Amino acid sequence: MDLTRYKRRTSHEVKIGATAIGGNCPIAVQSMTNTATADVEASVAQVERIADAGAPIVRLTAQGKREGEALRDIVAAVREDGYATAIVADIHFVPEIASIAAESVDKVRINPGNYRTSGGELEALIDKCRKRGVALRIGVNHGSLARHIVDRLGDTPAGMVESAMEFLRICVGENFDQVVVSMKSSNTRVMVQAYRLLVEAMEREGMTFPIHLGVTEAGNGIEGRIKSAVGIGALLADGIGDTIRVSLTEAPESEVPVAEMLVEHFQNREGEFEVLHPERYSPTEYRRRTAAPIVAHSEMTDDYVVVEAVSCNPTAEWRAAILDREDAAPVVIRRHYDGSKGEVALRAAADMGQLLLDGLADGVWIDAPQIAEAELHEVELMILQASRARFSHTEYIACPSCGRTLYDIEQALADIKARTSHLKGLKIGVMGCIVNGPGEMADADYGYVGAGAGRISLYKGKQCIERNIPQEEALDRLIELIKTNGDWRENE
Ligand code: SF4
């Protein structure tokens, strides 16, 4: 990682159908459908809507044979309609489905947590991919690592990296380089550390696989956008990332302009900032520089100093200025932004998040006089929360939903937020399916998880408390559960 200036990490090119990522290709944006993949007509329509929104790569879940086979019809129909969009199959559990999907799609994503490294499963898939020119993504998710990894390294960034490296080494051994890798988490600090550790591990072993970035379960609305911008921006700022997906619990096509804005934001990063004390910085370890309270700008006292970034590369500019300070005064980072509230929030989150995630900044100051003070204050608090520096709202860990979701998750999330958003410090998971939801809602205190058509299961931590209750009753029962456990407060 170059602390002084922006430089894109060196990666090799991987072809995904008519698109390519890595190498000198621009950073590609992508999204994922949330239709039932077996419903070919609905899935084709949604793939085309996502493509029309501007994404050259679209992923669909294939949880069973029916979905694996439907992919063939979906690819055929999309091509017939004149779309060259790269189609990706997302396989979580069954290696056999990956093999079926590889016969029709352009890329197959597998979760190494659910594959064995012995017995030749991966080698067989690689053979199949090589024959048709299909790319592979090794998609590691925090919360669904293989047992042997968790036993040895825990469900940690180091465990996530080892999980990917085991598979990447097999790919190298098989002389197959058409592989992309990802390390997703809903916890932005875990996610950023995992990607940075991955980059180090790949460099040590001479690997240049391109990287897919994403924050999982980011939620919706401005909060979901800010959380994605914090995690993805912290890495793009240092040239890490060849393709990105912004996951929102919204219509998938609404993810595309957000991702495009992020890519565009990192296009011009000129400037060089000498760092006199690089030993004060560790990209893979959280070190808070001071013990001062974390503040939004209106809460600043005279103890805080302000460091304003004015160059095209604010992240590196702030980092260099803070690392070189000889005093221990807490620092508020400041920058002026033009544009609408949504634009300002996304850009400020993308620039400022890294400094908070690394423990270098103690507060943020968004200078945007075109936006009302109270709204800016809210945005600043959301950036602090998304960067895990300070929690002032309920934290929602909501998956973007996919073909496995069998209830109206968008509406459910809106209803849950309306009743629980005052529960500061509480984490609530809102997940589409029982298969991946419980594992991937990470450290949520409570979980609202899709269990079947219109059915919900409720969790307290990792424990399922109520199974299969009708969606209409689920929110009241969730609140009851929060009350029973003493975590409820009335909204004053
Ligand atoms: S948790 Fe959500 S996005 Fe993940 S597989 Fe289940 S429904 Fe799909």
| Tens-place pLDDT, residues 432-457 | 999 889 988 878 999 999 999 999 99
Q: Which residues line ligand 1 (CB under 6 A)?
A: 399-402, 404-405, 431-433, 435-437, 440
pLDDT in tens, 213-249: 999 888 999 999 999 999 999 999 999 999 999 999 9
Dist. CA 9 → ligand 1 center (Å): 30
Atom of ligand 1 nearest to the CA of 399: 2
Dist. CA 215 → ligand 1 center (Å): 13
pLDDT score of 226: 97
Atom 5 in ligand 1: residue holding the nearest Cα: 436
Under the banding of pLDDT at 50, 70 and 90, the label for residue 492 is low
Atom 6 in ligand 1: residue holding the nearest Cα: 433
305, two tokens? 């100093």
Q: Which position has the token pair 């979760």?
A: 111
Nearest Cα residue to 408 out of 466, 467, 481, 470? 470
Dist. CA 319 → ligand 1 center (Å): 36
In degrees and rounded to multiples of 5, residue 161 shows phi and psi of: -65, -45
Structural domains of the chain in order of their starting residue, each with its CATH number = 14-265 (3.20.20.20), 278-386 (no CATH), 395-484 (3.30.413.10)
Q: Which of 186, 433, 441 to mutate to test the pocket of ligand 1 (most atoms within 8 A of CB)?
A: 433
* CB atoms near residue 329 (< 10 Å): 13
Nearest Cα residue to 230 out of 275, 273, 185? 185
Atom 8 in ligand 1: residue holding the nearest Cα: 402
Dist. CA 49 → ligand 1 center (Å): 20
pLDDT in tens, 184-201: 998 999 999 999 999 999
State what percent of residues in the chain have pLDDT above 90: 87
Q: Which helix (H) or strand (E) holds 35?
A: none
Strands (E), 93-227: 107-110, 135-141, 179-184, 212-213
Atom 1 in ligand 1: residue holding the nearest Cα: 437
Atom of ligand 1 nearest to the CA of 90: 5
Atom 3 in ligand 1: residue holding the nearest Cα: 401
List, in sequence order, every residue forming a beta bridge with 165; answer none if it has no partner. none
State what percent of residues in the chain have pLDDT above 70: 100
pLDDT in tens, 172-188: 999 999 999 999 998 99
- 411 burial level (CB within 10 Å; 0-12, 13-18, 19+): exposed
Q: Are 119 and 126 in contact (CB under 8 A)?
A: no
Nearest Cα residue to 62 out of 87, 25, 30? 87
> Over 90: is that where the pLDDT of 1 sits?
no
